[in-house]
Amino acid sequence: MLKKILIKEIYLPIIYVIIAFIIYFILSKIVDKALVINKFNKNKSEIKLKREKTIVNLIKSVIKYIIAVITILGILNVYGVETKSIIASLGIAGAIIGLAFQDIIKNLLSGITIIFDDHYVQGDIVTINGFKGEVIELGLQTTKLKSYEGEVLIISNHLITSVINHSMCNTSIFLDLKIAKEISINEIENVIKNVSAKLIKRDDVNKEIELLGVEIINSNNYVYKILIECEAEHQYQVNRAFMKYLKEEYDKMGIEVPSDMIEIKGGKK
């Protein structure tokens, strides 16, 4: 009888461990399969794939720990340990740990929410709690933003109260060009069309410049409004490129550039 008990205490734990590895292997393959399918989707961006990989790794980690806990409890039960009392003790210990590390747990839950709800991903231009910059790192505990001036904001995920994601849609740049009254509307429109032909060659510009027409007429000049639609993270580069091309066209036609020629009004579309 004693021999049978000893044999049971030897082979059952081994069987539990083997079963645990098999279950984890199967579930991991299922989760990985979902990622492989997404890799063949050409519409998926590199950032989206990184986000999905993060989610897959997170799911696999959760599965691993759940299987490990169940397996350990099963093995302890084989050796006659009262697992119900252990579970109760774990509940009490979990409550104590939860109180001691509640900020860490809040950050973890907030990080999971950010990733699963697709609030933003690495590379997006966002404004978080009034700070605008590029997401250079997205973790389960913190988010790191880098502003255009090089400042880096490191913020705990549970402290993020408001998010504006500028990369979810294109940015619309409205430009007010102040034109001397001696220059005709046809001339300025031809200039803008020539600039548009150069600007549209950029990958970050979505379509040709839209001519919105005359906005204001004064005694010595008039204001012509245009619209440039581009990717949010490149709006400043696009604006500088527009200025360069516009200056080149003005030089060709001998048009003098007023000191207060352009007023920029950014927007979203």
Which residue type sits at 123? G
2-100: CATH topology:
Helix Hairpins (1.10.287)
How many contiguous H segments (helices) and E segments (strands) does the chain have? Answer: 6, 9
Class of domain 171-268: alpha beta
Question: 28 and 63 in contact (C-beta within 8 Å)?
Answer: yes
Q: What is the mean pLDDT of the chain?
A: 77
pLDDT tens string 81-124: 776 666 666 665 565 555 555 666 777 777 777 777 778 877 78
Give the tens place of pLDDT for each residue, 20-50. 899 988 888 887 776 655 555 545 555 566 6
Nearest to 115 by CA among 131, 135, 130, 91: 135
Which fold does the domain 119-165 belong to in CATH? SH3 type barrels. (2.30.30)
The pLDDT-based confidence of 58 (bands split at 50, 70, 90) is low
User: Per-residue DSSP letters for 179-231?
Assistant: EETTS-HHHHHHHHHHHHHHHTTSTTB-SPPEEEEEEEE-SSEEEEEEEEEE-
Q: Taking the chain, what is the end-to-end CA distance rounded to the nearest angstrom?
A: 78
Domain with CATH 3.30.70.100 in the chain: 171-268
Contact 67, 22 (CB under 8 A): no
Q: How far apart are CA 119 and CA 14, in angstroms?
A: 44
Non-local CB neighbours of 139 within 8 Å, separated by 6+ positions: 111, 157
pTM for the complete prediction?
Answer: 0.49
Asked if 191 and 250 count as a contact pair (C-beta separation under 8 A), the reply is yes
Amino acid of residue 264: I
Rounded Cα distance between 185 and 224, Å, is 9
- Which backbone phi and psi does 15 adopt, to 5 degrees? -65, -40
- Main-chain dihedrals φ then ψ at residue 165, nearest 5 degrees: -95, 110
Model confidence over 168-213: pLDDT tens digits?
A: 777 788 888 888 888 888 888 998 899 999 888 888 887 888 888 8
User: How would residue 2 be classed by pLDDT, with cut points 50, 70 and 90?
Assistant: very low
Domain with CATH 1.10.287 in the chain: 2-100
Alpha-carbon span 12 to 8, nearest angstrom: 6
Confidence at residue 173, expressed as pLDDT on a 0 to 100 scale: 84
